[in-house]
Amino acid sequence: MKSKGQEGSLDELDRQILAFLQEDAKLTYSEIGNRLSVAHSTVYDRIQKMEEHGFIKKYEALVDLEKIGIPLLTAQMNITIDPKEAENIARKLAKSGQVLEVSTSFSEEFVILAKVVAKDQAQLHSFIAKSIAPIPGVLRIRTAIVTKKYKEERFSLALKENASKKRE
């Protein structure tokens, strides 16, 4: 690893280590080292540096909430807004624990896309009506409740590596 900040500053070994950790963050330094044919101390050093420089943000467990008895309803909101209020609205949404993702987008109109969770439909509606609709600059809201998820993953560096190799 050369310096912090840019993807390009990571070398091939760093990216391979990250790809393994994305798949399974509980892999030991030795296990990663064996797969990459490098010493576990090398893996340790690389991971320490990537943590220090923020390439690795955190390690977390993906909990199956339904299995532990907390079934949550998920919805995708498309909020049409006054562009002048975009920053204010996005920040207010981002502060809420019920809102998991917030991003701005522009097609024909300026919109904020937000992923929100709620206990049930009544609570979802109450949250949107009382906490989102009254925010100044909110013009319209379209909400789609997720009925079934077919895939939910984060972008994997392993996929990127495979794609690069195919191009070569």
Partner 1 sequence: MVSYSRALKNVLREEAFYFFTSIGNYTGQSASSLDEFLQKIKDVDIKSLEFHLFREDFEKWIALTLGDNKLADEIKNLRAQKVVGNALRDRLYFIVSRRLKELKGASASTSAPVPKERSQLAVL
Q: Which residues bind partner 1 (CB under 8 A)?
A: 75, 77, 80, 121, 124-125, 128-130, 132-134, 136, 138-143, 145
Specify the residue, 32 or 128, whose C-beta has the smaller distance to partner 1: 128
Element of type H or E holding 115: strand 110-118
Give the Cα separation of 12 and 100 in Å (integer): 32
Question: Smallest distance, Å, CB 124 to partner 1?
Answer: 6
Specify the residue, 77 or 93, whose C-beta has the smaller distance to partner 1: 77
Specify the residue, 42 or 143, whose C-beta has the smaller distance to partner 1: 143
Question: Smallest distance, Å, CB 135 to partner 1?
Answer: 9
Strands 110-118 and 99-106: antiparallel
User: Residues 110, 83: contact at Cβ < 8 Å?
Assistant: yes
Helices (H), ranges, 37-85:
40-52
Specify the residue, 71 or 136, whose C-beta has the smaller distance to partner 1: 136
Residue type, 50: M
Question: Smallest distance, Å, CB 141 to partner 1?
Answer: 4
User: Residues 1, 46: contact at Cβ < 8 Å?
Assistant: yes
Question: Smallest distance, Å, CB 87 to partner 1?
Answer: 19
